[in-house]
Structure 1
Amino acid sequence: MARKTIFITGGASGIGRAVAERFARGGWFVGIADIDEAGMAQTAALLPSGQSSCHKLDVRDRAAWNAALADCANAAGTGIHAVFNNAGIPLGGAIIDLTPDEIERTLDINLKGVIFGAQAAYPWLKASAPDGVLLNTASAAGIYGTPGASVYSATKFGVRALTESLDGEWAADGIRVRSLMPGFIDTPLLDHATNRASNEDIRTRVRGAGLEITPVSEVAEAAWAAVHGDRLHTLVGKTARRLAFASRWMPGVLRKQMRSAKRSMGK
């Protein structure tokens, strides 16, 4: 069987690194993309020799996407069979407290970057059909809008919508489109402040709310299953599963819970 190739954005750490390790164990060639060159090198060092390549990529740069994908295919010596649109940044806090720069950067990376990635990936995935897969990182925040994370939630609802739209749009081309919808995952992103004006990191807020933090290895296994399976959206972690259940079967109760959560933040 010919070796397959996956191209992963946000591959320098966290979910991207864990997924890179999982696919390398499965025998895939892994293209690691990020703006963090040192982090990419660390990820590559965890993979078997000759089974990866590194590509500096700002997902907001549409032309850079084309160059990075072509370089990855050249390094792999194959086509590209999966693109993992994973790069993203957190942003929390009351919407009235966020700066225009914070809002624009989050929209550009979390949503525009994913759209650009889908555009750039299309010819490669079509050439690999029926094995071509676009996998997008959405979020539990894309299931129901989260108080204190309005802009982040908006981007992840957008990623969810893009996934569903392209699932229909690309079906005739033999390209499968999937998303991961994780809750809070144990990655370095949790150690970031919610926004520039905050001194509290996300991990502290999650623990204070009594929510669970899911091991990143679970996301990696979910990504493997999503690429090889037929589920449109893959929920990862208890928070995501609870939100999905409540939004479908108990929307009124969920709405009250979200309003209570907003009041408990004192905002």
Structure 2
Amino acid sequence: MTLRKSIFITGGGSGIGRAVAQRFAREGWFVGLGDIDQAGMEETASLLPEGASFIHRFDVREPEGWDTALAAFAEAAGGRINVLANNAGVPLGGSLHDLTREEIDRTLAINLNGVIYGARAAYPYLKAAAPDACLINTSSSAAFHGQAGMTIYCASKFGVRAITESLDIEWSRDGIRVCDVMPGFIDTPLLAHTSHAASNVSVRERVVATGLEFTPVEEVAETFWRAVHGGKMHNPVGKIAHTLARASRWTPSYIRYRARKMLAAGLRPMG
């Protein structure tokens, strides 16, 4: 009997995580959903084929929670985990001096520590599944170049990019592929929140004000599928991400110039 391939997705209760779950389930994969939002995960599971999903509520900031979640998923999946999608994350914008210590610590704990804890906990499962194994992290177009009003968010996503690059080398001897997906702005429920506690304007409103476009979440999910089965380490998604990827490589000074012009005009992507 051939076991179905399996993927465990954090942030599976909505947005990118939900779209990725649907994309992999369509191909017959067994999908694990991890989130702090129980209702959201149940809604995602209801959109998947019967018997194709597993739900486990936990907080990615807690290493012990990771151990419990992956052990339970591996048992449900027949002892095998092929892919971990480190996708859980939160937005945070605003000038650094306007941010609270709690906002800073929470963002770094979820966006950065959560990815580290997930990779560490998943390693033995992925090693056992190699060479048919992959760690895929959700980074961001914000990992190409720092932006005003996005200091902490950029720091967290630059960190995810560094984790991806480091583990791609470190785990190559174990036959585990490591890659990331780097979207621009995605219109998910997270953008309905204000950029930080001192603001009463949602992230979505600020993106619209800058004239930037949203990338369809389905396009991000398709990129996840290609990334898991492809050979690229960094996988930009959407016009913004591709533009920043090219510019950061060939004309980084232009990005800095444009960012300063936006700041002078009172426009910040997330601030």
Q: TM-score range by the shorter chain?
A: over 0.9
Aligned to 2:145: 144
Q: Does the CA contact (< 8 Å) of 2:3 and 2:78 recur in 1? A: no
CA-to-aligned-CA distance 1:7-64 (integer Å, 9 cap, x gap): 0000000000000000000110000000000000000000011110100110011011
Aligned to 1:6: 7
Aligned to 2:179: 178
CA-to-aligned-CA distance 1:71-110 (integer Å, 9 cap, x gap): 1111122400000000000000000100000000000000
**Residues in 1 aligned to 2:258 and 2:34: alpha-carbon distance in whole angstroms:** 38
**Residues in 2 aligned to 1:118 and 1:45: alpha-carbon distance in whole angstroms:** 28
| Letter of the structure 1 residue corresponding to residue 32 of structure 2 | G
Q: Does the CA contact (< 8 Å) of 1:52 and 1:76 recur in 2? A: no
Aligned to 2:96: 95
Aligned to 1:217: 218
Secondary structure, counterpart of 2:8 in structure 1? strand
Query: Normalised by the size of structure 1, how large is the TM-score?
Result: 0.98
**Residues in 1 aligned to 2:41 and 2:252: alpha-carbon distance in whole angstroms:** 42
Q: Which region of structure 1 is more displaced relative to structure 2, 58-67 or 257-266?
A: 257-266
Number of residue pairs the alignment of both structures matches: 267
Q: Does the CA contact (< 8 Å) of 1:33 and 1:54 recur in 2? A: yes
Kindly state the Cα deviation for residue 247 of structure 1 after the two structures are TM-superposed.
1.1
Secondary structure, counterpart of 1:42 in structure 2? helix
Question: Structure 1 regions of 5+ residues with no counterpart?
Answer: none
Cα-Cα RMSD: 1.0
1:51 aligns with 2:52: yes
Question: Structure 2 regions of 5+ residues with no counterpart?
Answer: none
| Letter of the structure 2 residue corresponding to residue 103 of structure 1 | I
**Residues in 2 aligned to 1:83 and 1:253: alpha-carbon distance in whole angstroms:** 36
Aligned to 1:189: 190
Q: Does the CA contact (< 8 Å) of 1:95 and 1:150 recur in 2? A: yes
**Residues in 2 aligned to 1:76 and 1:59: alpha-carbon distance in whole angstroms:** 20
Q: Does the CA contact (< 8 Å) of 2:191 and 2:202 recur in 1? A: yes
CA-to-aligned-CA distance 1:134-173 (integer Å, 9 cap, x gap): 0000000001011111100000000000000000000000
Kindly state the Cα deviation for residue 191 of structure 1 after the two structures are TM-superposed.
1.1
Query: Normalised by the size of structure 2, how large is the TM-score?
Result: 0.97
| Letter of the structure 2 residue corresponding to residue 89 of structure 1 | V
Aligned to 1:65: 66
Aligned to 1:249: 250
| Letter of the structure 1 residue corresponding to residue 144 of structure 2 | I
CA-to-aligned-CA distance 1:176-232 (integer Å, 9 cap, x gap): 001000000121111111001111111111111010101100000000001010100
Aligned to 2:25: 24
**Residues in 1 aligned to 2:121 and 2:264: alpha-carbon distance in whole angstroms:** 43
Kindly state the Cα deviation for residue 255 of structure 1 after the two structures are TM-superposed.
1.1
| Letter of the structure 2 residue corresponding to residue 70 of structure 1 | A
Q: Does the CA contact (< 8 Å) of 1:5 and 1:82 recur in 2? A: yes
1:158 aligns with 2:159: yes
Q: Does the CA contact (< 8 Å) of 1:10 and 1:16 recur in 2? A: yes
Q: Does the CA contact (< 8 Å) of 1:34 and 1:40 recur in 2? A: yes
Q: Does the CA contact (< 8 Å) of 1:5 and 1:78 recur in 2? A: no
**Residues in 2 aligned to 1:125 and 1:76: alpha-carbon distance in whole angstroms:** 13
Q: Does the CA contact (< 8 Å) of 1:180 and 1:233 recur in 2? A: yes
Kindly state the Cα deviation for residue 67 of structure 1 after the two structures are TM-superposed.
0.7
Q: Does the CA contact (< 8 Å) of 2:131 and 2:175 recur in 1? A: yes
